[in-house]
Amino acid sequence: MVSLVPSLTEAVAETLPEALVGATDWCSHPAGLDLPRIGGTKNPALDRILALTPDLVIANEEENRAPDLDALRTAGVEVLVTEVRDVPQAFRELARVLAACGATGRPRWLDDAEQAWSAPLPEPFATAVVPIWRRPWMVLGSSTFAGDVLARLGVRNLFGDHPERYPRIPLDELRAAAPGLVVLPDEPYRFSAADGPEAFPGLPCALLSGRHLTWYGPSLAEAPRVLGEALRAALR
């Protein structure tokens, strides 16, 4: 099978490495992954995918473009498309993907990840804006996996009730929303200590690992600890 989603690539590679025959240029985990590359998530090289003769392509309704998936189906390739809007749904979709790839049981990492996220939803200890892009500024809105991850860690998204999932909000409006915290992940935009916090003077900024915030796969097992430590450190 070919994976068009970095987090799913990691999930399959950790569980059934022999099942993978191709992955995107952005599939960086596990370390040392040695597979033919088929382009990006938004611009896969369909000819390269077809040349690998996969019996299945795994994709995501948000990360991949419908015209590319339709073209693969037209060429006779089965395409499994995941939809992930919250943590429980991520676990269900991961189990579905692994079963479709031939897994006969649940991998240990999936049990560990579910256990890591088994605590009840906490009371918020911070209210945040969560930019995911700049030029133009875009933030997490409603019904997003990353927003649910943050809620389960005690961070309320100020734009969590916005009608759009990834609204464009001018910087002055983000500042005027008076967040207690600014969450800056390193993907899809690579926010860093030198690129992002300067736009929010006087506000605490948490620089988070995008893999732990937005990927659904083996990283979920350590995400509560990694993200929780970074969030609390920003508020000290």
Selection from 90, 99, 109 nearest residue 56 by Cα: 99
pLDDT of residue 117: 97
Domain encompassing residue 135: 126-234
pLDDT band at 223 (very low <50, low <70, confident <90, very high): very high
Q: Span 124-142, mean pLDDT?
A: 97
196 and 152 both lie in a single domain: yes
pLDDT of residue 236: 86
CA 194 to chain centre: 23
The predicted-structure confidence for 55-101, as pLDDT tens digits, reads as follows 999 999 999 999 999 999 999 999 999 999 999 999 999 999 999 99
How many Cα neighbours within 13 Å face the side chain of 176?
A: 5
Residue 115 lies in a domain: no
Q: Are 177 and 160 in contact (CB under 8 A)?
A: no
Is-above-0.75 flag for pTM?
yes
CATH no. for residue 68? 3.40.50.1980
165 and 230 both lie in a single domain: yes
The predicted-structure confidence for 135-193, as pLDDT tens digits, reads as follows 999 999 999 999 999 999 999 999 999 999 999 999 999 999 999 999 999 999 999 99
Domain endpoint, select from 106, 138, 161: 106
- Exposed, middle or buried by CB within 10 Å (0-12, 13-18, 19+), for 141? buried
pLDDT of residue 12: 97
The predicted-structure confidence for 97-114, as pLDDT tens digits, reads as follows 999 999 999 999 999 999
